[in-house]
Structure 1
Amino acid sequence: MRTFQTLLYYCYSHIKDGEQYTAAHLKFCKSLGLTGRIIIADEGINGTVSGTTEACKAYMDYIYADGRFNATEFKIDEVDKPSFIKIHCRYKSEIVYSGLKDPSYIDPTKETGKHLEPAEFAEMIDRDDVIILDVRSNYEHNMGKFKNAVTLDIDNFRDFPSMINDLAQYKDKKVLTYCTGGIKCEKASALLLKEGFKDVYQLHGGIIKYGKEAGGKDFEGKCYVFDNRLSVDVNTVNPVVISACGNCGTTTTKMINCANPECNKHFTQCDACGWELNGACCAACKTHPRIRPYDGTGYYVKIPQPVKPKVLSS
């Protein structure tokens, strides 16, 4: 049995003391020895944390003890080691940036698409009156997506509102949205409803829950995740690999960051091209004077820069 877990979760819930709660939340996470990334905003909480089984259990108890987060659903993965190096807990304006000039235009606590459980989603995806809409970014759906899904040419979810006009052609269809864990669909489906789409659904718990409860059927490729693992297997029924090396086109699931820190492009690259280019995305980046040493992983830990002490004037 593995001794560590990684928890993926979110909860839209109005928080009045967001900044103060963020500081207290970080202190508690540190007391448990957790690692991960947590975002807290006035609209709720969004996080992925990792630690020992005991620490994760204590953290889940802590979340549920706060009445504001009773609706939280944890997606739990058993892992061999923590999925992060440090713990970050930050207060921001939104837990997922909507890209809207007025984020209050939508409120996921009041109206979203109909939630479909994995088995219901699996039953509907082949129907003629349905479209499957991937609301994630390019690098995510290039790694893996549902069969026949409509994907969007966006680099960040904040670009989603700009795609509404392109999606208008599907207003007479049942629109089934999905994302990694469900959080983006809450806002995407809410916005679609606001913009006149009548029949909008979302995959409850996202791709991760679908993999655990429906075997990941018809999800092609791997699922991108926002921790050191970078991607996880989802489909145990009819798996295929769809991602390809950005340099030579060879099928690969390996995703890296360009070794040139001024580029830092996030892309898929096979091992052969990785070693040939020293982890760079192109020949120009390979010869960049600040290129980082490549160890075959393409993962680089951010090293804090020393802060110069202030000089007090006499």
Structure 2
Amino acid sequence: MTSVLNISCYKFVPLPDAAELRERLHAQAVAAGLKGTILLAEEGINFFLAGTAEAVRGLVDGMRVDERFADLEPKESWSDTVPFRKMLVKVKREIIRMDHPTIRPAQGRAPSVDPATLHRWLEQGHDDAGREVVTLDTRNAFEVDAGTFADAIDWRIAKFTEFPDAFRAHKAELQDKTVVSFCTGGIRCEKAAILMREEGLEHVYQLEGGILKYFEHTDGAHYHGGCFVFDERTVLAPDLSAQPSAKAGDEDASASS
């Protein structure tokens, strides 16, 4: 019986009290018997957690009391066992490292496209304005190898800090196309979309909620393979069931999205 609830969520929001939040959230998560990773930074929060449904949802409900987290909408999936070994709460410089300090998503998000709309665009072969639609995978190469959208652009980056230079090298190829950046849960493709727009690419969108939300809200069409996740499940199929394959990354990376 799949009795363990797994959630993933992030939000870009100023957190000048990240260190204080770390102590409080760690104590609450441990008391609730949860395992996983919570990353905090001045730019926001990013977390993957697992436990009983009551405990997981209870922690999120408690977080929502803070108005900065009132609109958290975690993505949910289920498993037979807890896919994390311990509970980690860390304060870092960035919740997802890009080494591009002018990118501040909390000051204004890039436009997004919801899963149903992307599904429709891919079905019809163009966006609603008739422009060619291309999907751009912002994840690391080993993640892409587990599965990606059909014909997705993949620059074979080894880490997200390589994305800005890769984009600049290929920018001309994307002009006059509608570009939909995507990643596991939305955090990397959101930063990527902001960067591309700031550097002059006009028709850029992020896939709202990333691959996991696409799996949750569509039939998974146009996506081949599974979605690599940084926990012991390793790869999730389009129905969000686990498909273990290669060894998962270490838990310090478990909240990558």
**What TM-score do the two structures reach when normalised by structure 1?**
0.73
Residue 113 of structure 1, aligned match among 89, 97, 110 = 110
Q: Are the counterparts in 2 of residues 222 and 253 from structure 1 also a CA contact under 8 Å?
A: no
> Structure 1: 5+ residue runs without aligned partners?
237-251, 258-265, 267-299, 303-314
2:84 is aligned with 1:87:
no
CA gap of 1:63–1:221, structure 2 versus 1, over 3 A, is same
Which residue of the partner structure matches residue 272 of structure 1?
none
Q: Are the counterparts in 1 of residues 11 and 45 from structure 2 also a CA contact under 8 Å?
A: yes
Residue 219 of structure 1, aligned match among 194, 205, 223 = 223
Query: Over aligned residue pairs, what C-alpha RMSD do you find?
Result: 2.0
1:1-314 counterparts in 2 under 5 A? 2-100=2-100, 103=101, 105-125=102-122, 126-127=125-126, 129-168=132-171, 169-234=173-238, 254-256=245-247
Helix, strand or coil at the partner of 2:10: strand
> Structure 2: 5+ residue runs without aligned partners?
253-257
Q: Are the counterparts in 1 of residues 231 and 251 from structure 2 also a CA contact under 8 Å?
A: no
Q: Are the counterparts in 1 of residues 233 and 244 from structure 2 also a CA contact under 8 Å?
A: no
* Code of the aligned partner of 1:66: D
Q: Are the counterparts in 2 of residues 11 and 71 from structure 1 also a CA contact under 8 Å?
A: no
* Code of the aligned partner of 1:200: V
For residues 187-245 of structure 1, give each alpha carbon's deviation from its aligned partner in whole angstroms, at most 9, with x where no partner exists. 00010111111111111111111111101111101100011101110169xxxxxxxxx
Helix, strand or coil at the partner of 2:23: helix
Residue 147 of structure 1: how far off its partner (Å): 0.4
Higher relative contact order structure (alpha carbons within 8 Å, sequence separation ≥ 6): 2
Helix, strand or coil at the partner of 1:185: helix
Helix, strand or coil at the partner of 2:51: strand
Q: Are the counterparts in 2 of residues 13 and 68 from structure 1 also a CA contact under 8 Å?
A: yes
Figure out how many residues of one structure are paired with residues of the other and give that number. 243
* Code of the aligned partner of 2:152: A
Which residue of the partner structure matches residue 263 of structure 1?
none
Divergent runs of 4+, >6 A: none
Task: Give the Cα separation in 2 of the matches to 1:133 and 1:120.
Answer: 16
Structure number with bigger Rg = 1
Residue 256 of structure 1: how far off its partner (Å): 2.5
What's the % identity of the aligned pairs? 31
Residue 131 of structure 1: how far off its partner (Å): 1.2
